[in-house]
Structures are given as C-alpha cells and as structure tokens.
Amino acid sequence: MSEGRELKRTLTLFQVVMLGLAWNTPMIYFSVFGVAYEGSSGFLTPAYAIAVLAVLFTGASYAVMARKLPISGSAYTFVKKTMNPNLGFVVGWVLLLNYLFAPIIACITFGIFLNAQFPSIPPAVWIVGLTVILAAITIFGVNSSANISSIFVLLQIFFILVFIAFMIHGLLNGAGTGTVLSIQPFLDSELSLSLVLAGASIVIFSFLGFDTMTTLSEETKDPKKTIPKAIFIMIAIVGVLHVATSYFIQLIAPNFTFQNPDSAALELVSVVGGSLLSSFFITVLIAAIFTQGLASVTAVSRLLFVMGRDSILPKRFFGYIHPKYKTPVLNIVFSSIVALLAIFITIDAALRFVNFGALTAFFFVNLCVITLYIKDKSNKRSFKNVAVNLISPLVGATFIIWLLFLLDVPTLVGGFIWIAVGLLYLSFLTNRFKSPLTDSGSEQIEFSKVADDKKAV
C-alpha cells in the first residue's frame, strides 16, 4: 500500500466558495426556520443580522490565520502552531465533534425526509445508500466533490431568490404589510436584546461553513489569497440571502403561525407560493441535503489526514493518500462508517456535538490571532494592525464565548466529557504530559510579518 503524504493543488476560488457553501447549505435556513422563529419570537431579521456580525469578526480571524498558515487542519493547525501543540490537539479533538457528526446529520435528515415521501422504504436504506454514494464521489477526488457541489449550491441559491421574488410579488399586490420598504423587521415595540440574542444563538449555525474552507488549503491554488477571499465571499452570500429572506418573511407574514416547527418552512412556502413552489422546495431540499453530506465527508477526511500526518492519530492509516486519486481514501471510508451511526441516533443529539465543536474552534482561532499580535516583536503598531490583529479577534472571541455558554446544559456536559476523553488520550500520547507532542509540519509563522500585513484580510 503506497503511502503518499501530499494533496494535489487543483481548487479555484469558485470551487472553494462552492464547497464552503455546500457544507454551509443555504437551504439550512429552512431546516431551522421553525426553531429559529420560535427562539427569536418571530424577530428573525435582527437575529440573523447579529449572527452575521458575530461571524464576520471570527471570519476575519480565519482569514488572517489562513494567510499565515496555508495548510490543512483548520483550527487544529492554527492553535498547534501558534499557541501550543498540546492545546492544538485538544482543539482538534473537539473540532472532530463538528466534522464527524456533520455527515451524520445529513444522513439522518436524508433518511427521515425520504422515508416520509416513501414510507415503505425504511430510513436505514436511504442512509446506507447515501453514505456509499458520498464515499465513492469523495474518493474520486476533491474536484469531483467541488463540481457536483457547485451545481446543487447554485440550485439552492436560485430557489431562495425565486422564493424572495414570490414574496415581493405578494407584497406589491397588497399581501402582508403591503410594502417592500419598511424598518419594522428591525425595530418593533416588542423587540428586546434578549430575544435577538436568543435567536442569534440558534441561527449562527447557518454560517459555519468557512471553517471547512481552511481544511482545503493544501488542495487550493494560491491559498494565501484564495482562502481569505473565499471566506468573506461565502459569509457575504449567506448573510445577504438569510437576512433578505427573513426581512421579506416578516413583511409578507408578520403574524405567521405553524403547526409543527419541523414542517414550518414547508407551511410557509405553501402560503407564499402554493403547491408549485412547494414541489420545487422539496426537490431542492433533497439536493441540499446531498450536497451538505458530500462537503462534510470531504472536510472530515482532510482533518483526519492532517492529524494522522502529525502522528496524533495512527499515521499509517489516517496519513495515507491514495497514489492515483490523491485523496485520503482510508479516512473517507472511516468517516463513512461513522456516518452510519445516523441509523441509531437522533438529529438533536448529533446537532449538540456539531454546535459545541464549532463554537469552541471559533473561540480559539480568535485567540490565535491575538497570540500572533502579542508575539510580534516589530514596532509597527499602526491602527490597521491593531484593529485587524487585536480588536477584531477580541470582539469575535467575546461573541463566540457568549454564544457557547448559551447552549443547553446537556450539550455543555457532553462536550466537556468529550474533552476529558481527549485529555486521557493526550496523556497517553505524551507519557502523562512528560513530553510535548512533536510538530511534524514544515510551515512556520513569520511573526515579523504580522504587523501591517496589508494582505492579511
């Protein structure tokens, strides 16, 4: 069995953005609509606006780190090389929750939805079928994943634009508030900061895809420029779509009610566009679930590869690259087997792991930028340097830690139990913390270039 150690650089800016959007899934807006609507008491527009603001600060930190360390591994690599290898391991261990359970969520949703359409076929059949297809496509190469994802992502964006067009048409014909220009969605006598933050803590998970982009650095052309650009492009696209959709929903259906939070989006689409738009919605939703699963398997296999290459995980297995396809085949097979847990667990349980892992990683990436600023020995402390490398990540870290501790108690307990298991494993790797983890990577940060780096973001 050949053991390569290099990934092939083939991805363009467009492909990286599409893969980020695929993991992010623009249609996730409708998947969480009912829960988000209840959590924000109907004030979705300000909730999404605050979520976008929080994500922008953390996205800026990811952009800085992606330029300084254009290698795979995301938050795991950033923390390991910037702060401490042992701490990097802990962050990578927690990040595995996000990455391993993301394909599980796609499989669960796929099984539940198609079982509802075809009751005679058990959800497990759909889950196994989807898992096999996703593994096969991912093994053939990241370009295959990117190209297929691009088609389905564009379909999702097209549907959301059509949905917005239906709402504008209705407003112009007197439906809802009868106006397309109003400040009411942002300002209301019943609106409070607690309601907005409660809603933001839910909907922020609609913006997590930029983390996966940094796992593709070693397969991206000119990653120091491409990855930061891709991060901001993706946040801009998702932010505009979600805020605009929320804005027009609050105008077209200011007193919207629904029977079931899980089916609230379908009820809303039926009200706005009737049976024709509902049929289109169902078709696009299936494509969105498939795309999210494809991007998730791609991302988790790359994170496992980096941890294997660093001998954090068994190197011979997790650090293996197929000599022909130049993809981490064994990691893809491993993550696909884990995805079969979708047959046995609930989507709520899987979401808890994803939420805890993602927010923890976001917090530490912000700390990485601050650490770089402190370690920089140059005397260049321009306003731009301070704003980008100190103020912005401080604001981002504050936002994220606030949202992290808004998660429910079972989520926090489960997350800290996972960390405890990771610390036990780390103790084994380091001979009970007597020896540090080795850093096998070749990329190093040049601290003198942190200050006044006009291309950092």
CA proximity to 77, closest of 201, 203, 223: 223
- Tell me, what CATH number does 219's domain have? 1.20.1740.10
Instruction: Report pLDDT digits (tens) over 314-351.
Output: 888 998 888 887 888 999 999 999 999 999 887 767 77
Q: Is the Cβ–Cβ distance between 325 and 145 less than 8 Å?
A: no
pLDDT at 337: 94
How much is the mean pLDDT over the chain? 82
- Count structural domains, the chain: 1
pLDDT at 335: 93
Query: CA-to-CA distance for 319 and 162, rounded, in angstroms?
Result: 44
DSSP string, 399-433: HHHHHHTTS-HHHHHHHHHHHHHHHHHHHHHTTTT
Whether 7 maps to a domain, the answer reads no
Q: Is the Cβ–Cβ distance between 212 and 23 less than 8 Å?
A: yes
Whether 8 maps to a domain, the answer reads no
What DSSP character marks residue 438? P
**What domain range is 48 assigned to?**
15-449
Whether 367 maps to a domain, the answer reads yes
Least confident of 281-285, 385-389, 407-411: 407-411
Q: Is the pLDDT of residue 133 over 80?
A: yes
Q: Is the Cβ–Cβ distance between 200 and 51 less than 8 Å?
A: yes
> For the residues 412-438, what does the mean pLDDT come to?
87
Handedness of CA 187, 189, 190, 192 (dihedral sign): positive
Q: Is the Cβ–Cβ distance between 277 and 124 less than 8 Å?
A: no
Handedness of CA 289, 291, 292, 296 (dihedral sign): positive
Handedness of CA 393, 395, 398, 401 (dihedral sign): negative
Whether 10 maps to a domain, the answer reads no
Helices (DSSP H) in 253-346: which residue ranges? 264-309, 315-318, 329-339
Whether 22 maps to a domain, the answer reads yes
Whether 242 maps to a domain, the answer reads yes
Query: CA-to-CA distance for 311 and 178, rounded, in angstroms?
Result: 62
Query: CA-to-CA distance for 203 and 49, rounded, in angstroms?
Result: 10
Whether 204 maps to a domain, the answer reads yes
Query: CA-to-CA distance for 198 and 357, rounded, in angstroms?
Result: 19
The residue that leads in pLDDT, 86 or 195, is 86
Whether 2 maps to a domain, the answer reads no
